[in-house]
Amino acid sequence: MVEVTWLGQMGFLIRAGSSAVCIDYFASPHEARQTPALLKADVLRNMDAFLGTHDHIDHMDHESWRNWAGMNPSAKFVFPEAHREKVLADGVAESNALGMNDGDTVKVGEVTIHAVAAAHEFLDPDPQTGLYPYLQYIMEADGVRIHHAGDTVRYEGMLPKLRAFGEIDLQLLPINGRDAVRYRRNCIGNMTYQEAADLAGETGAAMVIPGHWDMFADNSEDPRRFADYLEVKYGGRIKCVIPKVMETIRI
Protein backbone atom coordinates (compact mmCIF):
# COMPACT_ATOMS: atom_id res chain seq x y z
CA MET A 1 0.00 0.00 0.00
CA VAL A 2 1.11 3.53 -0.81
CA GLU A 3 -0.19 6.57 1.07
CA VAL A 4 -0.33 9.99 -0.61
CA THR A 5 -1.04 13.09 1.47
CA TRP A 6 -1.89 16.35 -0.30
CA LEU A 7 -0.01 19.33 1.14
CA GLY A 8 -1.56 22.03 -1.06
CA GLN A 9 -0.74 23.36 -4.55
CA MET A 10 1.40 20.54 -6.05
CA GLY A 11 2.87 19.38 -2.74
CA PHE A 12 2.55 15.75 -1.70
CA LEU A 13 3.95 13.45 0.96
CA ILE A 14 4.26 9.88 -0.31
CA ARG A 15 4.84 6.89 1.97
CA ALA A 16 5.63 3.50 0.48
CA GLY A 17 6.74 0.67 2.75
CA SER A 18 9.48 2.09 4.94
CA SER A 19 10.22 4.99 2.57
CA ALA A 20 8.90 8.54 2.70
CA VAL A 21 9.40 11.21 0.05
CA CYS A 22 8.10 14.77 -0.15
CA ILE A 23 7.58 16.48 -3.50
CA ASP A 24 7.01 20.14 -4.43
CA TYR A 25 6.04 21.21 -0.91
CA PHE A 26 5.86 24.97 -0.34
CA ALA A 27 6.24 25.18 3.44
CA SER A 28 7.34 28.80 3.92
CA PRO A 29 5.10 31.78 4.77
CA HIS A 30 4.33 34.11 1.86
CA GLU A 31 2.18 37.24 1.69
CA ALA A 32 0.32 36.03 -1.40
CA ARG A 33 -0.67 32.63 0.01
CA GLN A 34 -4.39 31.95 0.33
CA THR A 35 -3.80 28.77 2.33
CA PRO A 36 -1.27 28.28 5.12
CA ALA A 37 1.25 25.47 5.28
CA LEU A 38 -0.46 23.11 7.72
CA LEU A 39 2.52 20.76 7.89
CA LYS A 40 5.38 22.78 9.37
CA ALA A 41 8.75 22.38 7.72
CA ASP A 42 10.46 21.27 10.95
CA VAL A 43 8.11 18.27 11.25
CA LEU A 44 9.61 16.62 8.17
CA ARG A 45 12.43 14.60 9.73
CA ASN A 46 13.73 11.12 8.90
CA MET A 47 12.70 11.59 5.30
CA ASP A 48 14.28 9.57 2.50
CA ALA A 49 13.99 12.21 -0.20
CA PHE A 50 12.76 15.67 -1.09
CA LEU A 51 11.80 16.20 -4.73
CA GLY A 52 11.39 19.42 -6.66
CA THR A 53 10.09 19.57 -10.21
CA HIS A 54 11.45 23.04 -11.01
CA ASP A 55 12.91 26.15 -9.44
CA HIS A 56 9.82 28.16 -8.51
CA ILE A 57 9.18 28.93 -4.84
CA ASP A 58 5.99 26.85 -4.65
CA HIS A 59 7.88 23.80 -5.98
CA MET A 60 11.47 24.23 -4.78
CA ASP A 61 11.12 26.25 -1.58
CA HIS A 62 14.78 27.00 -0.91
CA GLU A 63 14.21 28.28 2.63
CA SER A 64 12.66 24.94 3.52
CA TRP A 65 15.25 22.97 1.54
CA ARG A 66 17.98 24.60 3.63
CA ASN A 67 16.17 23.52 6.80
CA TRP A 68 15.53 20.01 5.51
CA ALA A 69 19.15 19.56 4.43
CA GLY A 70 20.18 20.22 8.03
CA MET A 71 17.44 18.17 9.68
CA ASN A 72 17.73 15.22 7.28
CA PRO A 73 21.48 14.75 6.70
CA SER A 74 21.02 11.43 4.90
CA ALA A 75 18.03 12.44 2.74
CA LYS A 76 18.43 12.67 -1.02
CA PHE A 77 17.33 15.78 -2.90
CA VAL A 78 15.97 15.15 -6.40
CA PHE A 79 15.70 18.06 -8.82
CA PRO A 80 16.40 19.11 -12.42
CA GLU A 81 20.16 19.00 -12.93
CA ALA A 82 19.91 22.50 -14.40
CA HIS A 83 19.46 23.84 -10.84
CA ARG A 84 22.38 22.05 -9.17
CA GLU A 85 24.23 25.19 -8.07
CA LYS A 86 21.19 26.55 -6.25
CA VAL A 87 20.57 23.23 -4.51
CA LEU A 88 24.16 22.95 -3.33
CA ALA A 89 23.89 26.54 -2.06
CA ASP A 90 21.01 25.32 0.14
CA GLY A 91 23.52 23.19 2.03
CA VAL A 92 22.65 19.90 0.36
CA ALA A 93 25.70 17.62 0.34
CA GLU A 94 27.03 16.78 -3.11
CA SER A 95 26.47 13.07 -2.39
CA ASN A 96 22.79 13.75 -1.62
CA ALA A 97 22.13 15.98 -4.64
CA LEU A 98 20.54 13.82 -7.33
CA GLY A 99 20.17 16.05 -10.36
CA MET A 100 18.02 14.57 -13.13
CA ASN A 101 17.20 15.21 -16.74
CA ASP A 102 14.66 13.84 -19.21
CA GLY A 103 14.96 10.03 -19.33
CA ASP A 104 16.98 9.62 -16.12
CA THR A 105 16.11 7.17 -13.34
CA VAL A 106 17.18 7.01 -9.69
CA LYS A 107 16.12 4.85 -6.76
CA VAL A 108 15.74 6.19 -3.23
CA GLY A 109 14.81 3.64 -0.60
CA GLU A 110 11.88 1.67 -2.00
CA VAL A 111 10.90 4.39 -4.51
CA THR A 112 12.11 4.41 -8.12
CA ILE A 113 11.92 7.84 -9.75
CA HIS A 114 11.88 8.45 -13.51
CA ALA A 115 12.24 11.94 -14.99
CA VAL A 116 10.23 13.19 -17.96
CA ALA A 117 10.69 16.67 -19.44
CA ALA A 118 7.93 19.17 -18.61
CA ALA A 119 6.92 22.24 -20.62
CA HIS A 120 6.03 25.08 -18.25
CA GLU A 121 4.43 26.75 -21.27
CA PHE A 122 7.74 25.94 -23.02
CA LEU A 123 10.22 23.06 -22.82
CA ASP A 124 13.22 25.45 -22.72
CA PRO A 125 16.14 22.96 -22.80
CA ASP A 126 19.54 24.59 -22.54
CA PRO A 127 20.93 24.59 -26.10
CA GLN A 128 24.45 23.75 -24.90
CA THR A 129 23.85 21.20 -22.14
CA GLY A 130 20.46 19.80 -23.19
CA LEU A 131 19.25 20.15 -19.59
CA TYR A 132 15.55 20.79 -19.02
CA PRO A 133 14.61 23.28 -16.26
CA TYR A 134 11.21 21.66 -15.67
CA LEU A 135 10.52 17.98 -14.99
CA GLN A 136 7.71 15.54 -14.31
CA TYR A 137 8.30 12.41 -12.24
CA ILE A 138 7.01 8.87 -12.52
CA MET A 139 7.39 7.21 -9.11
CA GLU A 140 7.11 3.45 -8.60
CA ALA A 141 6.91 1.64 -5.26
CA ASP A 142 5.11 -1.40 -3.85
CA GLY A 143 3.63 -2.15 -7.25
CA VAL A 144 2.05 1.33 -7.48
CA ARG A 145 2.87 3.84 -10.21
CA ILE A 146 2.33 7.58 -9.59
CA HIS A 147 2.72 10.35 -12.15
CA HIS A 148 3.46 13.82 -10.75
CA ALA A 149 3.28 16.24 -13.66
CA GLY A 150 4.92 19.20 -11.94
CA ASP A 151 4.03 22.31 -13.94
CA THR A 152 3.46 21.58 -17.60
CA VAL A 153 1.39 21.96 -20.71
CA ARG A 154 1.05 19.11 -23.16
CA TYR A 155 3.67 18.95 -25.89
CA GLU A 156 4.30 16.78 -28.91
CA GLY A 157 5.73 13.44 -27.81
CA MET A 158 4.76 13.75 -24.14
CA LEU A 159 1.86 11.28 -24.23
CA PRO A 160 3.95 8.42 -25.73
CA LYS A 161 6.60 9.00 -23.07
CA LEU A 162 4.04 8.62 -20.30
CA ARG A 163 2.32 5.63 -21.88
CA ALA A 164 5.66 3.84 -22.14
CA PHE A 165 5.69 3.37 -18.36
CA GLY A 166 2.50 1.32 -18.42
CA GLU A 167 -0.60 1.68 -16.29
CA ILE A 168 -0.68 4.71 -13.99
CA ASP A 169 -2.46 4.25 -10.67
CA LEU A 170 -2.50 7.93 -9.70
CA GLN A 171 -1.89 11.16 -11.57
CA LEU A 172 -1.25 14.52 -9.92
CA LEU A 173 -1.98 17.18 -12.54
CA PRO A 174 -1.90 21.00 -12.58
CA ILE A 175 -5.16 22.55 -13.83
CA ASN A 176 -4.68 26.32 -13.43
CA GLY A 177 -4.26 27.02 -17.15
CA ARG A 178 -2.57 30.01 -18.79
CA ASP A 179 -3.46 33.27 -20.51
CA ALA A 180 -1.98 36.49 -21.85
CA VAL A 181 -2.70 38.46 -18.66
CA ARG A 182 -0.61 36.10 -16.53
CA TYR A 183 2.09 35.68 -19.16
CA ARG A 184 2.47 39.47 -19.42
CA ARG A 185 3.39 39.59 -15.73
CA ASN A 186 5.76 36.65 -16.11
CA CYS A 187 3.40 34.11 -14.56
CA ILE A 188 3.92 31.16 -16.87
CA GLY A 189 1.15 28.62 -17.03
CA ASN A 190 0.02 25.04 -17.23
CA MET A 191 -2.64 22.83 -18.72
CA THR A 192 -6.20 24.04 -18.59
CA TYR A 193 -8.56 21.83 -16.63
CA GLN A 194 -9.85 20.38 -19.91
CA GLU A 195 -6.34 19.59 -21.15
CA ALA A 196 -5.45 17.97 -17.83
CA ALA A 197 -8.62 15.86 -17.88
CA ASP A 198 -7.86 14.71 -21.42
CA LEU A 199 -4.30 13.78 -20.39
CA ALA A 200 -5.73 11.60 -17.62
CA GLY A 201 -8.19 10.06 -20.06
CA GLU A 202 -5.62 9.37 -22.74
CA THR A 203 -3.05 7.88 -20.38
CA GLY A 204 -5.73 5.71 -18.80
CA ALA A 205 -4.99 6.67 -15.22
CA ALA A 206 -7.03 4.88 -12.57
CA MET A 207 -7.21 7.91 -10.26
CA VAL A 208 -6.40 11.59 -10.64
CA ILE A 209 -5.92 14.49 -8.23
CA PRO A 210 -6.11 18.06 -9.60
CA GLY A 211 -3.49 20.44 -8.24
CA HIS A 212 -2.16 23.98 -8.55
CA TRP A 213 -5.54 25.61 -7.94
CA ASP A 214 -5.63 26.61 -4.28
CA MET A 215 -2.54 28.65 -3.38
CA PHE A 216 -2.70 31.99 -5.19
CA ALA A 217 -5.90 33.93 -5.97
CA ASP A 218 -4.63 35.27 -9.31
CA ASN A 219 -3.42 31.87 -10.57
CA SER A 220 -6.17 29.42 -9.70
CA GLU A 221 -9.06 27.34 -11.03
CA ASP A 222 -12.14 25.60 -9.67
CA PRO A 223 -11.29 21.88 -9.34
CA ARG A 224 -14.98 20.99 -9.61
CA ARG A 225 -14.91 22.09 -13.25
CA PHE A 226 -12.10 19.59 -13.79
CA ALA A 227 -14.02 16.84 -12.03
CA ASP A 228 -17.24 17.56 -13.97
CA TYR A 229 -15.46 17.61 -17.34
CA LEU A 230 -13.67 14.37 -16.53
CA GLU A 231 -16.93 12.71 -15.50
CA VAL A 232 -18.86 13.85 -18.57
CA LYS A 233 -16.18 13.05 -21.13
CA TYR A 234 -14.82 9.81 -19.69
CA GLY A 235 -17.95 8.40 -18.11
CA GLY A 236 -16.61 7.74 -14.64
CA ARG A 237 -13.77 5.47 -15.82
CA ILE A 238 -11.28 7.59 -13.88
CA LYS A 239 -11.73 8.23 -10.19
CA CYS A 240 -11.26 11.92 -9.36
CA VAL A 241 -10.32 12.97 -5.83
CA ILE A 242 -10.38 16.62 -4.79
CA PRO A 243 -8.64 16.34 -1.43
CA LYS A 244 -8.49 18.68 1.50
CA VAL A 245 -5.06 19.79 2.62
CA MET A 246 -3.49 17.05 4.77
CA GLU A 247 -5.98 14.45 3.51
CA THR A 248 -4.38 11.05 2.84
CA ILE A 249 -5.35 8.80 -0.06
CA ARG A 250 -4.42 5.12 0.12
CA ILE A 251 -3.67 3.15 -3.02
Q: CB 246: neighbour CB atoms within 10 A?
A: 12
- In angstroms, the CA 79 to CA 51 distance is 6
- Residue 21, pLDDT > 90, answer yes
Instruction: Give the mean pLDDT of 229-233.
Output: 97
- Per-residue confidence (pLDDT) for residue 1, from 0 to 100: 85
Q: Where are the domains of the chain?
A: 2-250
- Per-residue confidence (pLDDT) for residue 230, from 0 to 100: 97
Is the overall model pTM greater than 0.75, yes or no? yes
List pLDDT tens digits, range 26-65.
999 999 999 999 999 999 999 999 999 999 999 999 999 9
List pLDDT tens digits, range 172-228.
999 999 999 999 999 999 999 999 999 999 999 999 999 999 999 999 999 999 999
- What is the residue-wise DSSP string for the chain? -EEEEEEETTEEEEEETTEEEEES---S--TT-SS--SS-GGG--S-SEEE-SSSSTTTS-HHHHHHHHHH-TT-EEEEEGGGHHHHHHTT--GGGEEEE-TT-EEEETTEEEEEEE-BBSB----TTT---S-EEEEEEETTEEEEE--S-B--TTHHHHHHTT---SEEEEE-----HHHHHTT------HHHHHHHHHHHT-SEEEEESSSS-TTS---HHHHHHHHHHHHTT-SEE--PPTT-EEE-
Note the CATH number of domain 2-250.
Answer: 3.60.15.10
| Percentage above 90 pLDDT, the chain | 98
- Per-residue confidence (pLDDT) for residue 236, from 0 to 100: 87
